[in-house]
Structure 1
Amino acid sequence: MPIPNTIFVLTGAGISAESGLGTFRDTDGVWARFDPMRLATPEGFAADPVLVHDFYNHRRRDTRAASPNPAHAALARLEAGLAERGGQLFLCTQNIDDLHERAGSRHVVHMHGELLRARCTACGTEPVWHEDLTVATACPDCGHGGGMRPDVVWFGEMPKHLEAIDEALSEADLFVAIGTSGAVYPAAGYVAQARAFGIPTLALTLEAADNAGMFEATRLGPASATVPAFVDEILSGRA
């Protein structure tokens, strides 16, 4: 395989698991312990905003307390290394934490939103938000009270940045999925999309994902080991 110059990387909950942030669809994941219909839908928020705010306030605190791990750091190194030789990393994440940014990644596309942002349902502003949200929180832009929610994509809502993601995928030399379940669409379909474009595909994952059969190559193991090794290969020209 020629050394790729433009790489599309998709990351999922598995890359942040080693930082202490729980996955969602494993047998002991978040949705095995909590009802997503009550906590991650517009209808659930409308029915019990206090409950939903409490859930995301706890997750926001957990995110602030977590630290990037070697996998996050390796991807930041890959971004810088590709840029130095005129290449590009398109880093698309399903994660709503900010560990990629804190590891040094400069361009991160959050297709499922960001936990450390809020959204006003009245005016649509999306301010950075590190503190708790409540039903009384007022929008810092329009002043409307009671309409602030986490800026995350809930079940039944459209993921963000889909046009930019499709364009970047069509231009990539290599598609890599890291720590993804392969069960959540449209992200789970990107490997098929890449294959249709003739782009080589690679999965770096702790265990085989639901769509494992679509990948041309898979490397099993913790992200903190497989991702730095992969990045070393790319930047040294051994890919």
Structure 2
Amino acid sequence: MTMTIQIKNLAKTYSGDGVATTALRDVNLTLHHKEFTAIVGPSGSGKSTLLQLIGTLDVPTAGTIFYDDVDVSKLRGNALADFRFAQIGFIFQHFHLLPTLTALENVMSPLFPRKVGYDKKGRAQELLDWVGLSHKQNALPSQLSGGEQQRVAIARALVNRPKWLLADEPTGNLDSNNGEMVFQLLRKYQQEHGSGIVFVTHDEHLAGRTDRRIEMRDGSMIADTMRVSS
């Protein structure tokens, strides 16, 4: 089980039309298993770029990311896909459910091409029940509310029993009640399974209730604060 993610001198620059844009500069950070970490900052601060790099969805221009002793920048092809499947679950702001699949099929979708040592349908049904949507397993995304779609997306992210859960603005398209429900599900999963959670958000109220708050601005990390338990 991966216990830490070590980020060293991380930078990301995008080039286009002869113009280079620095999205991330010289970030040094260690993330710990069993910790719920919020990353906050204004739009364009680099927080989503950082999350994409941590999740191996993009590659850095400079610097390294280690999951314990594994340098993920050196993984390619099937090795990278297998590592991502074993280690990481993703939740996105816009849900990204497949419109022609039912809720149950969407939760199962990461497992379709893989051999696993458990019943795929049973695992998906278990998770839909855990997020309170067992009665919606045959519904298409178009038949679900935004909050319900995000709960299906959470179940999908958890179907492979990830060691790390990366959430990019998961409450950004939801009202406050549904946003609170999503936050509570993430917290519940972390407490029950000990997974590390990295939670990008604009919501300072939710960020203030996580274990750790990292603030980004202009591509740099400007604050790293641990919450003091009362």
TM-score, normalised by the number of residues in structure 2 = 0.36
Q: Greater strand percent: which structure?
A: 2
Taking CA–CA contacts closer than 8 Å with sequence separation of 6 or more, which of the two structures ends up with the larger relative contact order? Answer: 2
